[in-house]
A and B are shown apart, each in its own frame.
Chain A
Amino acid sequence: MKLWKTAWRFLPLSLLLFLTGCMGETNLTALDPKGPQSQWLFDNMLLSLYIMALVTIVVFAIFFIILAKYRRTPGDDTIPKQVHGNTALEITWTVIPIILLTILAVPTITGQFMLADTEPDPEIGEDTVYIKVTGHQFWWQFDYEDEGFTAGQEVYIPVGEKVIFELHAQDVQHSFWVPALGGKLDTIPGITNHMWLEADEPGVFKGKCAELCGPAHALMDFKLVALERDDYDAWVAGMQEEVDVPTEGVLAEGRAVFEANGCIGCHAIGGMGTAAGPALSDYANREVVAGYLENTDENLEAWIRDPESLKQGNNMPAFPDMSDADMEALIAYLRSLDVQN
């Protein structure tokens, strides 16, 4: 019995340790919120968790008392008193849950309207960043329509500002989610949704597709890069600049390969791009290849030669027979695409 009591005392503590010790990776987990929206979600998750923990503790306590007290001893054939019910008790366990649920109902409704409020940030008004997101099998397109350019796989936002996202889907349904910054919302063909996110600090936050969308659904990751407003403006300016097409050396060769193989038909470099493949305007600064592979030359080459083996069911054609020299030039060219310098 004594042991039990000590164990009980340590239970809440160990739970807490457990939770803080294993929160997962900081820029992915929702347990370490990095923006006002995810903070609100986290706080209200805790609120409901506490209330529900209370309910659970009551039930478990009754249950363990029963286990301890009401076992039948062998040979005991007496019949316990047959009670048919107890009105007072039954009213109690009807009314108390109603009260607890009412407590939860309030933030449910206010929070719902808070999330749905996708009006521009009143403080910055016109300057509120507005990004059009399109989900594709299995990549993300980010159109900065006001600024006049397209980004692929990586979306940049300024820190400390409410950024508005307009959600679309090209083929099947996807769901746009940056756990450390906020909740998800579905992208649905034929329907336009709106949501907002805000980051408290600069950083690279991991994003996921949360709706089953085909064989490579698991690999439909993206990055959200939050920059201080100045850096963000610099990035935007870089993206808006006319890209110079290299005219000599290996870069010019690479560019020629890029054109000759039809890469340019799907992948824009500069400008608004197309919906056929991710724009590559700022490729040198990409964290990953294809949304999830470490951005090394080997991975990049493997991807170009046989995308299917890395992302089943994706829509990019393979280039298995490209000569090594062409490949080298092409990669060099891609590595030179840098708007941030």
Chain B
Amino acid sequence: MAAQKQEKSVIWDWLTTVDHKKLGIMYLIAGTLFFVKAGVMALFMRIQLMYPEMNFLSGQTFNEFITMHGTIMLFLAATPLLFAFMNYVIPLQIGARDVAFPFVNALGFWIFFAGGLLLSLSWFFGGGPDAGWTAYVPLSSRDYAGVGLDFYVLGLQVSGIGTLISAINFLVTIINMRAPGMTMMRLPLFVWTSFISSTLILFAFTPLAAGLALLMLDRIFGAQFFIPSMGGNTVLWQHIFWIFGHPEVYILVLPAFGIISEVIPAFSRKRLFGYTAMVFATMIIAFLGFMVWAHHMFTVGMGPVANSIFAIATMTIAVPTGIKIFNWLFTMWGGKITFNTAMLFASSFVPTFVLGGVTGVMLAMAPVDYLYHDTYFVVAHFHYIIVGGIVLALFAGLFYWYPKMFGHMLNETLGKLFFWIFYIGFHLTFFVQHLLGLMGMPRRVYTYLGDQGLDTFNFISTIGTFFMSAGVILLVINVIYSAFKGERVTVADPWDARTLEWAVPTPVPEYNFAQTPQVRSLDPLFYEKIHGDGTMKPAEPIQPIHMPNGSILPLIISIGLFFAGLGFIMMNMDNPIINPWIVAIGGLVITFGSMFVRSVKEDHGYYVPVEQVKADLKKGGN
């Protein structure tokens, strides 16, 4: 039997942790920081657009802001915030002690974080990337974009590796680590959607990596894949980008659907309506998500046949999405609904998401898209999906899982106030943007002229942004206030909920389940409440629990990748302080060196002895 666990300082403990719960919290913190950063950029952009011909940001700065806002929100805020919940909740919901590869899990986090930092560094080296989050060539080629774009290319390349390996880890975890009796058709919907979303990451981030590699070759090593004057093809980039970019939206929205599918049943006290239909609708959405990328390119001139095919394929996505909407509604129908903050967010998600969805169908009519494309109508549409969908779901998940993650409740009064201010601000901001688009306002413009009839709605839109910002500040106040004054939670199940994560004690022991539970149904905890004594039956005797040791190697590996990326970027800088090749190769040596160490050094982990498990069990039920 290997050694027992060593005591360590708190900081060292967090830097070396491989515990999915700690990593979940780390994703939550990192994602929040990036979310606030990108949110402040959005606020600045809206201030610039508050009045016609404002001089708050220059055109160049504004373009850097849209690019960073979009890129950060999608890659460094929404994705990690969802990963935060996926990390924390999936092992608990399937009755596992951890993810399949805890070391890889930590590695995924640190690589994502290193990539994010790398991207953010651009501000200190001659400005951010400025070609939009889609980085269309030739605007993103070396002729038109400075070194900021190299930060985009390598920052995303690095953080993408992190996302990709985390996704693989989720896939293996969900396939292999389920408790006895937890069949695939008993998986909570959040696990299902995370599973499918991880599959999408697997198939979508690989083309992105390839595209970024080609762009890097063009920019840094003078290749000509995307340079039309040298025989390259610019539209090629658009195809590669959107083959990644369209599924990316589903990567984000499917786990959001999953959160909604957990919160609504819990607070309606009903099981999810049409579980099987929900699972298959998710799969169909994911599949179709890969078939419709070119609907972002209707105005590229692909010809009427291609446009028609992609238009019809896009419209069909509305069918499985509609199934989901009605299933949520009918989960609430006939229920006993408690409208606390989590449920306010989750239930308001449904009609709001419908508003984003119906404009999606309107956009799918390819010829009419000639009108909407690249205007504020599109900006309104995708923010209805992203803020009105994904962000509302994230807030619902935050209020729902907060007591399990942090051991205390968030304040409900502040929470509800936050909901209303944010929700009203959201509609003020984005509803009028539909009209702005139809009235002739292109997107990604840093200013507009005064005599064009665009003033009123732009003003309203900016006021809405102030509301949303006030809402987020209230959330921050809530988090701080609740940390000191919030109601402590020691019970396992404060919501009277239905799934397995509410069967483990709060705070959750390192090994999650003292004894792996025996699952007898969908919504296993609820089943035991009705048919048993309300606690999960163990599937195994109490025995020593094998746990992995922490390791600093994930952090070191990602530091190496950070420097490797930085080295490649420095090749495009005018006066690098040291030879870029030294930095790049040095970084790679660190990365591969630590991987080598990891491969040859034996580490058998440690065991939590039976006495310890029994002592824990006495403290809190399981």
Q: Enumerate chain A interface residues (CB-CB to B < 8 A).
A: 19, 22-25, 28-31, 38, 40-41, 44-45, 48-49, 52-53, 55-56, 59-60, 62-63, 66-67, 70-72, 76, 78-86, 89-90, 93-94, 97-98, 101, 104-105, 107-109, 111-116, 167, 171-173, 175, 177, 179-180, 182-186, 188-191, 193-194, 206, 208-219, 221, 292, 312-313
The answer to whether A218 touches B446, judged by C-beta atoms less than 8 angstroms apart, is yes
Cβ A171 vs Cβ B138 within 8 A = yes
Q: Are A217 and B444 in contact (CB under 8 A)?
A: yes
The answer to whether B453 touches A112, judged by C-beta atoms less than 8 angstroms apart, is: no
User: Which of A19, A38, A78, A313 is B60 in contact with, Cβ under 8 Å?
Assistant: A313
A48 to B314, CA, bound (A): 15
Contact among A72, A82, A211, A292 for B271, CB-based, below 8 A: A82
The residues in B between 403 and 444 inclusive whose CB is less than 8 angstroms from any CB of A are 435, 438-440, 442-444
Stretch at the interface among B109-117, B295-303, B563-571: B295-303
Chain B, range 497-545, C-beta contacts under 8 Å to A: 530
Can you name 18 A-B residue pairings with CB atoms under 8 Å?
A: A22-B435, A22-B456, A41-B368, A44-B368, A45-B438, A49-B362, A56-B351, A66-B329, A66-B337, A85-B327, A101-B361, A108-B368, A188-B235, A189-B138, A210-B443, A215-B59, A219-B447, A313-B59
Minimum distance in angstroms from B14 CB to a CB of chain A? 40
CB of B233 within 8 A of chain A? yes
Chain A residues within 8 Å of B456, by CB? 22
Closest to A49 in B: B362
Contact B367–A24 (Cβ < 8 Å): no
Q: How far is the CA of A292 from the CA of B445 in the complex (A)?
A: 14
Residue of B whose beta carbon sits closest to that of A66: B332
Mark B118-148 against chain A: 1 for CB-CB distance below 8 A, else 0. Answer: 0000000000001110001011000010000
Closest residue on chain B to residue A60 by CB atoms: B351
Q: List residues of chain A with CB within 8 A of the CB of B447.
A: 218-219
- Chain A residues, CB < 8 A from B354: 55-56, 59-60
User: Closest chain B residue to A177 by CB distance?
Assistant: B442
Q: B322 touching A97 by the CB < 8 A rule?
A: yes
Contacts A63-B329, A115-B367 known; A312 to B58 CB distance under 8 Å? Answer: yes
Chain A, residue nearest B363 (CB): A48
A76 to B325, CA, bound (A): 27
- Does B79 count as interface, using CB distance less than 8 angstroms? no
User: Nearest Cβ distance between residue A24 and chain B, in whole angstroms?
Assistant: 3
Instruction: Say yes or no: is B365 at the interface (Cβ < 8 Å to chain A).
Output: yes
Bound-state CA distance A109–B308 (Å) is: 6
Taking the closest CB of chain B, its distance from the CB of A68, in whole angstroms, is 11
Indicate if the CB atoms of A184 and B304 lie closer than 8 Å.
no
Residues 371-384 of B, flagged 1 when their CB comes within 8 A of A and 0 if not, give 10111000000000
A186 contacts B300, C-beta separation under 8 Å: yes
A175, B367: Cβ atoms under 8 Å? no
B270 at the binding interface (Cβ < 8 Å): yes
Expressed in whole angstroms, the Cα–Cα distance for A63 and B338 within the complex equals 15
Assembled-state Cα–Cα distance A29/B439 (Å): 4
CA distance A217 to B456 in the complex (A): 22
Nearest CB in chain B: distance from A73 CB, A: 8
In the A-B complex, the 8 residue pairs with the smallest Cβ-Cβ separation, listed nearest first, are A183-B370, A190-B228, A24-B439, A111-B367, A218-B445, A24-B453, A52-B358, A215-B59
Q: How far apart are B431's CB and chain A's nearest CB, in angstroms?
A: 11
CB distance from B336 to the nearest CB of A (A): 4
CB distance from B29 to the nearest CB of A (A): 32
**A84 with B271: CB separation less than 8 A:** yes
Assess whether B371 is in contact with A45, with CB atoms less than 8 Å apart.
yes
The A interface, classified by DSSP as helix, strand, loop or mixed, is mixed
Q: Which residues of A contact B269 (CB under 8 A)?
A: 72, 79-80
Q: Report the interface size for chain B: residues with CB under 8 A from the other chain.
A: 94
Residue of B nearest to A173 (CB): B136
Nearest A residue to B496 via CB reads A77
Per the 8 Å Cβ criterion, residues 312-345 of B in contact with A are 312, 315-316, 318-319, 322-323, 325-327, 329-330, 332-339
Q: Does B606 contact A (CB under 8 A)?
A: no
* Contacting residue for B319 out of A98, A105, A211, CB 8 A: A98
Other-chain residue from A40, A48, A62, A115 in contact with B361 (beta carbon distance below 8 A): A48
A175, B63: Cα distance in complex, Å: 17
| B229 at the A interface (CB under 8 A) | yes
**B451: CB under 8 A from chain A?**
yes
Q: How far is the CA of A38 from the CA of B373 in the complex (A)?
A: 14
CB distance from A81 to the nearest CB of B (A): 7
Q: Does any Cβ of A come within 8 Å of B234's Cβ?
A: yes
Given the known inter-chain contacts A28-B452, A172-B138, please indicate yes or no for A83 contacting B325, CB distance below 8 A.
no
Contact of A186 among B131, B301, B332, B361 (CB under 8 A): B301
Find out whether the CB atom of A85 lies under 8 angstroms from the CB atom of B358.
no
Known: A52-B358, A172-B139. A208 touches B442 (CB 8 A): yes
Give the residues in chain B near A292, CB-CB below 8 Å: 449
B336 proximity list for chain A (CB < 8 A)? 70-72, 76, 78-80
- Report the minimal beta-carbon distance from A214 to chain B, rounded to whole angstroms: 7
Question: Would B311 and A112 count as touching, CB distance under 8 A?
Answer: yes
- B274–A173 contact, CB under 8 A? no
For B233, what are the chain A residues with a Cβ–Cβ distance below 8 Å?
190
Verify if B225 is at the interface (C-beta below 8 Å from A): no
Once the chains bind, are A116 and B304 in contact (CB under 8 Å)?
yes
How many angstroms from the CA of A191 to the CA of B236 in the assembled complex? 12
Asked if B33 is an interface residue, CB under 8 A from chain A, the answer is no
Take A66-B337, A83-B273, A115-B370 as given contacts and tell me if A210 and B442 are in contact as well, using a CB distance cutoff of 8 Å. Answer: yes
Complex Cα gap A191–B302 (Å): 11
Query: How near does chain B come to A290, taking the closest CB pair, in angstroms?
Result: 12
CA distance A97 to B360 in the complex (A): 14
Contact status of A218 and B448, CB under 8 A, knowing A59-B350, A93-B322: yes
Interface mask (B268-280 → A, CB under 8 Å = 1, otherwise 0):
1111011111000
Q: How far does the alpha carbon of A253 sit from the alpha carbon of B294 in the complex, in Å?
A: 55
Residues of A within 8 A of B351 (CB): 56, 59-60, 63
Residue of A nearest to B61 (CB): A215
Q: Are B138 and A31 in contact (CB under 8 A)?
A: no
Residues from chain B with a CB closer than 8 A to the CB of A19 are 435
In the complex, the chain B residue whose C-beta lies closest to that of A104 is B365
Whether the pair B367, A209 counts as a contact (CB closer than 8 A) is no
Q: How far is the CA of A150 from the CA of B271 in the complex (A)?
A: 69
A179 in contact with B440 given A80-B336, A112-B367 (CB within 8 Å): yes
In contact, B362 and A45 (Cβ under 8 angstroms): yes
Cβ–Cβ < 8 Å partners of B334 in chain A: 70, 80-81, 83
Residue B366 lies at the interface, judged by CB distance under 8 Å to chain A: yes
Q: Are A108 and B366 in contact (CB under 8 A)?
A: yes
Q: Is the CB of B138 within 8 A of A173?
A: yes
| Chain A residue nearest to B446 in the complex (CB) | A218
Q: Are the C-beta atoms of B235 and A184 separated by less than 8 Å?
A: no
Contact of A212 with B63 in the complex, beta carbons under 8 Å: yes
Whether the Cβ atoms of A185 and B301 lie closer than 8 Å is: yes
Asked if residues A114 and B367 are in contact (CB atoms below 8 Å), the reply is yes
Residue of B nearest to A117 (CB): B304
From B58, B308, B452, contact of A112 by CB (8 A): B308
Cα-based distance from A182 to B372 in the complex (angstroms): 11
A114 — which chain B residues lie within 8 A by C-beta?
367
- 18 more contacts with CB within 8 A, not counting A28-B440, A84-B271, A215-B446, are A23-B439, A30-B371, A44-B365, A45-B438, A55-B322, A59-B351, A66-B337, A81-B334, A82-B271, A85-B277, A94-B322, A109-B304, A116-B304, A173-B139, A190-B233, A190-B234, A210-B443, A212-B131
- Whose C-beta in chain B lies nearest to the C-beta of A188? B234
Report how far A250 CA is from B277 CA in the complex, Å: 81
Give which listed residue, A29, A83, A216, contacts B453 with CB less than 8 A: A29
Contact of A72 among B63, B327, B337, B367 (CB under 8 A): B337
Question: Given the complex, which residues of A lie within 8 Å of B355, measured CB to CB?
Answer: 56
Produce 1/0 per residue, B19-59, CB < 8 A to A.
00000000000000000000000000000000000000011
Bound complex: CA of A109 vs CA of B309, how far in Å? 9
B370 in contact with A184 (CB, 8 Å): yes
